Every structure is written in structure tokens, then in C-alpha cells.
Amino acid sequence: MSQDFDVLIVGSGLAGLSAALHLAPTHRVAVLTKRSMSDGSSGWAQGGIAAVMGEDDSFERHVDDTLVAGAGLSDPAATRFVVEHAPESIAWLRSLGVPFSQENGHLHLTREGGHSARRIVHVTDATGAAVQQTLIALVRRTPNITVLENHTLVDLITAGKLGMQPNRCLGLYALDGATDEVLTFRAPRTILATGGAGKVYLYTTNPDTATGDGIAAAWRAGCRVTNMEFIQFHPTCLYHPHVKNFLITEAVRGEGGKLLLPDGTRFMPGHDPRAELAPRDVVARAIDFEMKKHGLDCVYLDISHQPQAFILEHFPNIHARCLQLGIDITREPIPVVPAAHYTCGGVHTDLRGRTDLPGLHAIGETTYTGLHGANRLASNSLVECMVFARSASQDILATSAEAPPAVPPWDDSRVTDADEAVVISHNWDELRRFMWDYVGIVRTNKRLERAAHRIALLQDEIQEFYGAFHVTRDLLELRNLVTVAELIVKSAQSRHESRGLHFSRDYPQMAPDTKPTTLVP
């Protein structure tokens, strides 16, 4: 027996919830999320949302900054589309009551690396959390939206797999965490808003939910995937034995933070004339270089030269979190390491969020829209979520779709309970370590070959496990991460140059002509 809706949305971050609110006035919407509604990456975003709001700024400048950061691979039409629709997204959030930081009665705009003007709209240093809390409260009281927490995507249901033509997306199977039962959901429209895949790496700023579920499911359903070699490593993740995933926002450098070696030597001016305000890929590689050169576990980010009142006003959450760990950022530097932060590639979509599979849209970090190119400009991620949530919703609202035919329920009559869950945790650990060592900030042909070899072995094991045992969330996530790892390695192997976030020792130069890396299933 299937549960039927007009639209299924997988993911409860800014992209998914925005789409749900746009569609709810006329459509019955189900939002499926694999943990609680607040567990995605959106709520962790500290910096803010990039939009042209100041009189000394322009769309042209924001477009240019994005294209420069994207290292020649951002799509100009997609970039312009996002930049020109960014201010209306801010206006929409303000109309919903998001409490953006103000100064003298106007929005306070901060500046981040790679931006030529102050254009980052923010809520102190916890923008994502403030936006997410506002949207979650609204979604919970909107009548046409059904929220299904602890529901993990197993796979998309396609007409082609059921032997029907023409091929289209008919819905999905999802594992209900409360009952361990795989449920069937049908809808003429499905939106993937599942976020990125940072958990494929050992060190990441992402939450535990970032396992590339949408990218892997779309790939298995026959959709193209583009630019997966471009994984953004955030230069400054807190380095501390008792804390994982705590990001130290770009804005700390934007407001004068300096990167130092343990002896207090500043090193960024020796790597780039823009020093600490260079784009993230440059800063991450510089830190990686210095750590390897000196055999360091971390470097240090120092904002303590700023007045205490300034630090408490601009970075209250970072100050409080560090203080809990015995680090007073008003008096001493913060230990930091680079960490996997953002998946710049993903499911290939058009400007209406449509994928290659009719009936399937994708929005947010799970996609490749053309905006980020070879490197994402700071604070362009949340705005991409909102702009494409709106455009995908408008596409769905403007076009009719017939109800899908009956689909078979999930069949697990021939599987048993797994006898050794330890296999999954060992494989997960092995995957994250070799991806960090071989497919990290700096790559070589040999390292990529080693990673590809190990991925092939893991895939065989996981496929055998998947076919023989009842599915669990851990198994589904591992299966998706190994698929994403394969896509990253294949993309990296096919790019014979260094550009943006992809740096190869074997091909250290930029190629004169280049295009996005698109993989076809």
C-alpha cells in the first residue's frame, strides 16, 4: 500500500523547506528527512547569505566575484540567474520574520573572502540556525505539509525499472526508522534536497547526515552527475580532540583574523597577495602545505588583536563554544585544520531544478546548477538553495502531471537480519580514511588509482550485504557514500589539470580550455 502525495521532498534543509512552503498553498507535500528536521547542514551555516543590497554594490560585481572564484567553470547564465534573484530571497525571508542583524536601522552587511564588497546578510554568526528555526516553525503549522522524520531514502521508483514507458520518476522507497519497515511513497513530482557528501571524508564540517543520498539515488536512476571532483575544503575547522565538525566562519578572516604557525609566524602573504582574504581553495592548500612542511597537526587563527567587545558582538557563538573548551578567542588564537565542507558538483539540473529524469527535480547542495564552477564563493550556497527552491516550485506549479500508476511494495521476503554490523562500521571508517589520504586537498594519479581500487572492493562487499540482508540506515548511507566516492574519483581522474578545488601534482597547470566534468550512467 503506497502513501500518495502531490510532491515528495527528500531533505529538510533550507532548500527543501523553502520548496515545501512555496508549494503548500496548492499541493499536498510530504517532507521526508532521515533524522530530525533540524539535523541538516543549513542550520550549521554561520557566515550568511550573499546578495546585492548595498548602494556601492551591483549585480555585475557579484557575478564577477562568483566567476573569478569559480576559476573559469561557473556557468554565466546560472550565475546571473542566482545573483539577480538573491535580493528577493532575502526579502522573502524577512517577510517570514528571520531576524537579520541590523545597524542604524539597515541590514548589517559583512564581507567574506573573494567578495569585492560588503554583501553578506547575516544573523550574527549563526545565520543558518536562525533561518532554519524560522522555516521549521512555519512548516510545522502549515496544513498541507506532512513532515516524516526518521525516514531514510532507499531508492527512487522509476517507470523504466518497472518495465513501463516513457521513463519517469513515480516516487520512492523510504526506511521508517521507528518500525524498520521500508514504505512506498507515490507522487507525480519528487524533489531531492538531500545536501552534500562531506561524510565521505575523515575531517568534515558537515553533520552526520551529509552522506550524498540524493546524488547516489539520482545516479542509480539514470541522471547525469557533474563536477564531482570539486569538493570544497573549508580552511578553518576547529581542531580539538573533543569536538568534531565545528566550523570557524570565513567572517573571522573577513574581520581581520590572521593565520599563524605555532611560533606566531604569519604565512598567508607568502602564498597569495590577498593573504587571509584569498578564496577558500587557496587558503586550504596553503594550510595543507604548511602542515605537511612542518609536520603540524594544525595551524592557528588569531582574532585576539580586535577589541573584546567587537569579538563578542560579531562572533558570540564561536566565542562561547571555544570558551567551553578552554580557548578564550579574545586573548589567544584558535587551533584550526582544513575539512571537507561543500560538494560543488552533484545532480545535473537546469535553471528550473529539473534533472534528466522527468518528474524529478533537485535543489541545493545535492545539485550541479553551474553556479559554483571549480570553487564556491563564500555565502553563495544558502542563496542557491532559495533561488532554486523557488524556480523548481514555479516549474511544478506551472505544469500539470498525471498521477503515477500503481507501484509494487518493497520486497524483502528473501533477506535476513545482518549478523555482523561491524562490517559496515569498518568499511565506513576505511572509506573515509583513504578518501582523506588519496582524494583530499592535493591529489596524484597514483593516489587516485589506489582509491579506485579500494572503492571497487568495498562496492562488491556492500552490494553483497545489500542483497542479502534487511536494509538499515547505516547500510544505506555507506552504499551511497561509496557511490559518491566512485563519482569523485572518476571525475578527478578525467581532469588533467589543476583548477579551483582540484589540485593534482601530476598536472599542476591550468589547461587553456576546459569544461565541466559530466558523468553519464
**Positions marked catalytic:** 280
User: Which residues does 269 contact at the CB level (< 8 Å), separation at least 6?
Assistant: 275
How far apart are alpha carbons 247 and 291 in whole angstroms? 19
**Whole-number Cα distances in Å, 467 to 29, 158, 418:** 32, 19, 11
Strands 181-186 and 169-176: antiparallel
**Whole-number Cα distances in Å, 125 to 10, 121, 189, 247, 313:** 27, 11, 36, 11, 9
Q: Give Cα 29 to chain centroid, integer Å.
A: 23
Helix, strand, coil shares, percent, the chain, to 5: 40, 20, 40
Strands 145-149 and 29-33: parallel
**Whole-number Cα distances in Å, 413 to 180, 330, 417, 467:** 14, 61, 11, 11
Neighbour tally for 115: CB within 10 Å: 26
User: Which residues does 219 contact at the CB level (< 8 Å), separation at least 6?
Assistant: 225, 347, 483, 487, 519, 521
Cell numbers representing residue 214 in the block: 540524493
Neighbour tally for 417: CB within 10 Å: 9
Q: Where are the alpha helices (DSSP H) in 58-146?
A: 59-69, 76-96, 127-140
H or E stretch covering 286: helix 280-294
What is the spatial order of strands in the sheet that 120-121 belongs to? Answer: 49-50, 120-121, 109-110
What is the CB-side half-sphere exposure of residue 266 using CA atoms within 13 A? 11
User: Which residues does 196 contact at the CB level (< 8 Å), separation at least 6?
Assistant: 41, 206, 210, 212, 342, 343, 346, 365, 366
Sheet strands (E) in 283-431: 299-302, 334-343, 346-348, 360-362, 367-368
How far apart are alpha carbons 467 and 415 in whole angstroms? 7
Cell numbers representing residue 141 in the block: 503549522
**Whole-number Cα distances in Å, 289 to 103, 236, 337, 361, 431:** 39, 14, 12, 40, 23
Which of these, 306, 339, 388, 314, lies nearest to 81 by C-alpha position?
388
How far apart are alpha carbons 355 and 518 in whole angstroms? 13
